[in-house]
Chains A and B, each alone.
Chain A
Amino acid sequence: SQQGEEDPQALSIQEGENATMNCSYKTSINNLQWYRQNSGRGLVHLILIRSNEREKHSGRLRVTLDTSKKSSSLLITASRAADTASYFCALRLNSGNTPLVFGKGTRLSVIA
């Protein structure tokens, strides 16, 4: 399939700890995007990393991309209870103008 696969499916950590989520994929991509979704709400774009980039930062977020391993990771440092949400990776494929393809997401719970 063309979608990314997030790992783990669910993650529970204590406030202040770091949270790491991974996304693996099988096809060639132009870019990879991470989105966050609070329960029952819409998705919010977090960060976009292009295929020629290896690492990007945004506040407490750090995203890496390894195109040779076809994988990406999202690190949230010093997590807060408000970071509790589902996190999705979305792939922009190289095959023409195609829509984003989303994975099933990682459910993160940050316990205060």
Chain B
Amino acid sequence: ETGVTQTPRHLVMGMTNKKSLKCEQHLGHNAMYWYKQSAKKPLELMFVYSLEERVENNSVPSRFSPECPNSSHLFLHLHTLQPEDSALYLCASSHSGLSQSEKLFFGSGTQLSVL
């Protein structure tokens, strides 16, 4: 248990559905991240929030919409996804975000399948 909880663990959705991924951290950290992990590709950073403000947005399609209502919770809202969006979505947190000595604490991920 890393102190970062993601729900759901698995999600199957059609291309016209709207769903949300949830992440909660119990570590008192101030920064939260969304990563996408596809087979045979490096981990892709999608979004970073530090003190509830988005500080990194790596040209992610608008069909992915993050929300960080407070420093403990992070959401990823999904709509009109494509089959190539099927992947493991990982949430992570760190103490103070983008600091040089930071290490990340990851959740177990949501395995998303888009049909």
Could you tell me which A residues sit within 8 Å of B by CB distance? Answer: 3, 30-31, 33, 35, 40-45, 48, 50, 88, 90, 92, 97-104
Contact status A44-B2, CB under 8 Å: yes
Write 19 A-B pairs (CB below 8 A) sorted by A numbering.
Answer: A31-B100, A40-B88, A41-B108, A42-B4, A42-B6, A42-B92, A42-B106, A42-B109, A43-B43, A43-B90, A43-B104, A44-B106, A45-B103, A45-B105, A88-B43, A98-B98, A99-B48, A100-B102, A101-B45
Residues of A within 8 A of B104 (CB): 35, 43, 45, 90, 100
Q: Are A33 and B103 in contact (CB under 8 A)?
A: yes
Complex CA distance for A92 and B4, rounded to whole angstroms:
22
Contact status A104-B42, CB under 8 Å: yes
The 9 closest A-B pairs by CB, nearest first: A42-B106, A102-B43, A97-B98, A45-B103, A43-B106, A30-B100, A42-B108, A104-B42, A42-B107
Any chain A CB within 8 A of the CB of B53?
A: no
Chain B residues with Cβ below 8 Å from A43 are 43, 90, 92, 104, 106
Complex: A33 Cα to B4 Cα, angstroms: 19
**Chain A hits for B43, CB < 8 A:** 43, 88, 102
Which of B2, B40, B42, B56 contacts A99, CB < 8 Å? B56
Q: A42-B92, A50-B101, A97-B99 are in contact. List 16 more A-B contacts (CB 8 A).
A: A30-B100, A31-B100, A35-B104, A40-B111, A42-B106, A42-B108, A43-B90, A43-B106, A44-B106, A45-B103, A48-B101, A97-B98, A98-B98, A100-B104, A101-B45, A102-B42
Which residues of chain A come closer than 8 Å to B92, judged between CB atoms? 42-43
Q: How far is the CA of A99 from the CA of B90 in the complex (A)?
A: 15
Shortest C-beta distance, B103 to chain A (Å), equals: 4
